[in-house]
A and B are shown apart, each in its own frame.
Chain A
């Protein structure tokens, strides 16, 4: 029997949303690092965002459920730690989608460049930690709304 191609598998995986920020996909996030066939086994390599992120096990479950549904029988999910995940791997599309969703995308400067709601640039950090390990809490002093910022890592 012939295997679905690697490209086909990437296409399927591209439909999987991040469980905590469903507006972006797992591929947008840059955490799926490889798809290969090793003999009859499909190996999908996934890297965690933060080492204790509770979404990691959910993500693995979503990947497995999807690929089983697509008829993949021999599947191995491999965890890859190195090189460690970085927000640099996030696609430009993902950054745009995050901002539209109300989460300021990561910036090399270490803080958001503008308020995702009003575009204001007078911003203050409320806390380096937010509702998920990957986010911080900020506030816009122009529109006074709090917002989340996806931290650089």
Chain B
């Protein structure tokens, strides 16, 4: 039997730092690897369903078109702003870690504080995005075969069902029946309906589709005015899971922010805790980069 005390292979007898990284940093990295695989599982499942229902999947550009306080349609712009906010908060996080290496307490407080502010702005933006998605935009019609179709104008652009029947979409008790929509479609032949496969029909041909159809306003886990139900379910699940990561990140940031102010890490002699939380925060940004591409762009 080999005598371990004289074993030259020192990596197995302790005293060495594996990978020249501290225990905490190493475990944070391995947690992030497993989390990355979890998120890729979700995004791949999204891709699977999207490929499976390729002919009826909603186009993200037609779903996320609004910007707070602005009238009109600005596809992509708000998500782009959210991406910018998260990148910016990643930058302030690196700056905080950078000052931590120099044991510069006041600068760490400054940059860490700004990172928390960025996290809250992102969470607020996501709440707005969810609120808008839940309330719905232009309304949809669910046919008897459960396909979701939309009203379009003569240019084949989506036209709001609220405008079609003359109702304020933010009124207290909006109640639009399929007969209201049928009547309005028959009264004005410039409007038609765009079927799930994106072909447009109008007049009597459209009426044939609308037998036993229902008006769908807004989106939840059961009904989705934008198109295939799974689109809404994946939207809530993936952006919700990411948003929960951002929320946890903000909570952890606040905890270490208080510790920095109290001088815990100054007494400890190093700011490695800021670095470890920084790894988590960058990972949240990293995941958003992929969610942005696969949910909104592609």
Please indicate whether A and B come from the same complex rather than being unrelated chains: no
Residues of B within 8 A of A (CB): none
